[in-house]
Amino acid sequence: MPSVSRMGASRALIGVALAAVLAVGACAQSPDTIAPVPVDGARYDGFTCAEMGHEMARVNRGVALLSAEQSTKQVNDAVGWFHLLGPAGSVSRRDIRSRIALGKGEMDAIERVMAGRC
């Protein structure tokens, strides 16, 4: 029969393993791993090449800002799990993954249209 101290150690080990799994699963996603959503290039049919260039710059700036915010959330989550045992960044801020994915999709669509027309 296992001793009481061995049972306590086993429970502690299981608790640590469970906490590690929860910590990894609750962290904010890296902006680099967020896939673009498909965007129809037809929305840029009325744009000139210069206008598409300006639109690409605008969308690129927006994605860069959102990606920086997402990266900060990722770092804050890691620090939060280390110090507070909870995902500090993800809980306190809005979820912007869909906006990053849309922005990446818009950049892809603009690039496709520009490659075929400009």
> Among all chains, which residue has been given the structure tokens 């690409």?
56
pLDDT in tens, 91-107: 445 689 999 999 999 99
CB 70 within 8 A of CB 28: yes
The answer to whether residue 114 scores a pLDDT higher than 50 is yes
Q: For 66-82, what is each residue's pLDDT tens digit?
A: 999 998 888 877 665 55
Look at the block and give the residue holding tokens 């869909």: 98
Q: How many domains does the chain have?
A: 1
Give residue 11's domain range. Answer: 4-117
pLDDT at 95: 81
- Residue-wise pLDDT tens digits, 16-34: 444 444 444 457 789 999 9
Q: How many CA atoms lie within 13 A of 118 on its CB side?
A: 15
